[in-house]
Amino acid sequence: MRPNLVKTRLAAGDPVINAWLSIGASYSAEGVGHTGAHSVTVDLQHGMFGFSEALHMLQAISATPAIPMVRVPYLEPAQIMQLLDAGAYGIICPMISTPEQAAELVAACRYPPHGNRSFGPSRGLLYGGSDYVANANETVMAIPMIETAEAVDRIDDILSVDGIDMLYLGPNDMAFAMDGHVRFPRPASEQAMGKVLSRATRKGVPVGIFCADATEARLRMDQGYGLVTPGNDFAHLTRSVSGAVRALLDAPNDQDVPPKVVHGY
């Protein structure tokens, strides 16, 4: 079976840079997959698309070196199984607050006898290889999102669930839960995230986190997070265009300065 680069890098202690897609376009998904990011996550929770677009995006990512992952909208085993059949190598599930919910997520990601995933690998075979079914349980990642006060309070119970491959922190929902807002500073949620990171590290479970940009992602890597997401595609797109507009509007009108030549398009 095709190896899961995210799992192998985390196991080796190497950082994972994860791209994030909220725009439903296979063309941009393919481009992002070629940026050097180790994984690309298709966001079905807050992204502006559904399963059909997600399937095309997973197909596009599969043609790149990046590992395809999906954030599902909620804990729904049937949808999780369908996305795994579509070729996702990791499932990030939001709002996991109890060990029972974490166990349900893991079970949906594992074939019997370790779970209750239904047989029907479809694109899993095309992407993973002919031995997909025999090795999927060890390759596909089950990733609970920790973003509620209850989840923080019960983090040791959640970490005791067998089969969790990584935790993923949602800082904004955590800030809503702990600080009552998403403005900075957010001392309560920062303390809570530090607790989760510490407990997971002690248990040998890597932790990923969504970041506003590359600057924050570097800070989080230095703090010990194994996977960082330096913003999503929409944020990068709008920041880039805004920066270009500001640069052009603020630039002096100097006719003696030759224009820059942009190669390609």
Which neighbouring-strand residues pair with 91? Answer: 70, 142
Which neighbouring-strand residues pair with 18? Answer: 39
Helix (H) or strand (E) segment spanning residue 157? helix 155-159
3-state SS track over 235-250: HHHHHHHHHHHHHHHH
Show the tokens assigned to 87. Answer: 């070729």
Instruction: Tell me if residue 46 is catalytic.
Output: yes
Show the tokens assigned to 119. Answer: 């047989």
Helix (H) or strand (E) segment spanning residue 18? strand 16-21
- Helices 99-108, 77-85: crossing angle, 10 deg rounding: 40
- The catalytically annotated residue of 34, 38, 46, 263 is 46
How many residues would you count in the chain?
265
The CA-based dihedral angle spanning residues 2, 234, 171, 95, taken in that order and rounded to the nearest 10 degrees? -60
DSSP symbol at 14? -
Contact 17, 228 (CB under 8 A): yes
d(CA 205, CA 37): 21
- Bond from prior residue into 121 cis (ω within 30 degrees of 0): no
d(CA 175, CA 171): 6
d(CA 200, CA 223): 13
Q: Which residues are catalytic?
A: 46
